[in-house]
Amino acid sequence: MREKLGLSKEKIAAARSLAGAICAPVLSFIDGHTSAAVERATLRLMGADGADREGVPVPNLAVDALRDRLPGGAALWYANALVATGSSVGELNRKISEGFDLSRLPLADAAAARAKAEELAASGLGRVAANRAAREKKLADFAGANGDPLLYLIVATGNIFEDVKQARSAARRGADVIAVIRTTAQSLLDYVPYGATTEGFGGTYATQENFRIMRAALDEVGEEEKRYIRLTNYASGLCMPEIAAMGALERLDMILNDSMYGILFRDINMYRTFVDQRFSRMINAYAGIVINTGEDNYLTTSDAFDKAYTVLASQFLNERFAYAAGLEPWQMGLGHAYEMDPSIPDSFLYEFAQAQMAREIFPDHPLKYMPPTKYMSGDIFAGLTMDTLFNFVSKATGQGIHLLGMLTEAIHTPFMMDRAIAVDDARYVMRAMASFGDDIEFRRDGIMVRRARDVLDRTLGFLRELEGTGLMDAIAAGMFADVARPKDGGKGLDGLVEKDPSYWNPVERRLAAALPIR
């Protein structure tokens, strides 16, 4: 898309430089730490799976038993148990589920244990690489069949088998991406439930078996429709790295993956979740998964007109953290939203300007654009009008991932017919104005140009303030989304572990060697 706002390239470069300086101390902290979730994700990629009779997952049982040895990493001790007992991975998982304690085994043959761990890491990452290749082949086979932008729809019944029905219906109607919303508060669980689930509330549990079931269903519909249907889930929260690992193993295509969301809106400890985010994003990078970030949520608690600069600032920070985990621009679905108060005169022009601004600043990123929710009401006609204007802006500014608005979103979980109306409206708008974005120009002294330049200027000022304050202290002071979280508060801090010099993680080592980390 051509640049139309006349944004200063020098100011954009300065913002990126400031983002690098702000993120550097956090990245340094991350380098010196691991977490219970990182170690569990590592074991999952090495084959740890299953659960005991109480439903406690094998990775949790193993890592909990190895708690005193986590500063050196869990991988060596899992592999040591395989070597010492002569068990297969499946047999060891069964033994752990029946009460076997890994920590009681001495390190008998370190070289053999390391070799076994390397073998398992290579096997797990080989499966991930094969999934990425399978996705790329399907995308090539069905090239040009999906929408532009991709139309993204949620399902959220609580029952994975009912979700499948809704997902198939949505895909056949024209959805390109199906997102399975997680059950309420799963992000606060420090374990991942095992197996297929049917009793979620407000969503469906994210489990590896549920991922497998939905992936198979969407592949089946994709073959019928001659389109590749992408699958999305949510990896924020206390199990962020594990859900990323399971998504990579079951060929998810997108994952919500943003520490700021968990810190601000789920009260996850910031130290813990920044560590978890880095490892999870490395897994996503290797798997070819597109991450979605959660800046849109800032505008649910702070004003979309006054605090637009916090969204752009966070996008710059998320971009920097993503590069540091090896993600490429095409994998960075940076979030923003159409959430301005509709009673504001010219609100549509401001929304248009901000979407265009994001597109010009991040030209190679598949921006994730969220529909209006904060000001939706029971008036379905007003809601449809707002969603139609949102659809217009998304197409006009070349957004990459378009989350469809729902008429009944503020009332109840949308019905299948609500999804059908959402798809039909979006497809009509985007077909009717297919070339609008290429044909339109903006006045140099007009409202939209002035708005975009003002937001960029305020973003620069905010980033300078963040550089002086420090990112973690800024979060503690409530500088994002008007939500303050203490550095040593929140959930999960007890799962943070400082690495000692002996720390060794064959999965992380292989990921770091394979990825373009910068």
Active-site option among 368, 369, 395, 418: 368
The CB density around residue 316, as the number of other CB atoms within 10 Å, is 26
How far apart, in whole angstroms, are the C-alpha atoms of residue 255 and residue 206? 11
Query: Residue 383 corresponds to which tokens in the numbers above?
Result: 């809601």
Query: Residue 483 corresponds to which tokens in the numbers above?
Result: 């939500």
H or E element, residue 332? strand 332-333
Active-site option among 78, 191, 261, 271: 261
57 cis-preceded (ω within 30 degrees of 0): no
Active site residue 261: yes
Tell me which DSSP letter residue 495 carries.
Answer: G
**Which residue carries 């979103």 as its tokens?**
409
Active-site option among 176, 296, 387, 425: 296
Query: Residue 191 corresponds to which tokens in the numbers above?
Result: 């374990």
**How far, in whole angstroms, is CA 399 from its chain's centroid?**
17
Compute, in degrees rounded to 10, the torsion defined by CA atoms 94, 96, 102, 105.
-50
How far apart, in whole angstroms, are the C-alpha atoms of residue 198 and residue 205? 8
Secondary structure class of 301 (helix, strand, coil):
helix
Residue-by-residue DSSP string for 321-364: HHHHTT--GGGEE-EEE----TTSTTHHHHHHHHHHHHHHHSTT
Active site residue 228: no
Sign of the dihedral defined by the CA atoms of residues 198, 199, 202, 203, in that order: negative
Q: Which residues pair with 227 in a beta bridge?
A: none
**Which residue carries 């399907």 as its tokens?**
138
Residue-by-residue DSSP string for 419-479: HHHHHHHHHHHHHHTTTHHHH----TTSHHHHHHHHHHHHHHHHHHHHHHH-HHHHHHTT-
Crossing angle for the helix pair 240-249 and 270-287, to the nearest 10 degrees = 10
Active site residue 296: yes
178 dihedral zone (left: phi>0; alpha: psi -120 to 50; beta): beta
* Rounded alpha-carbon distances, angstroms, from residue 359 to 146, 182, 366: 20, 29, 9
Q: Which residues are catalytic?
A: 261, 296, 368
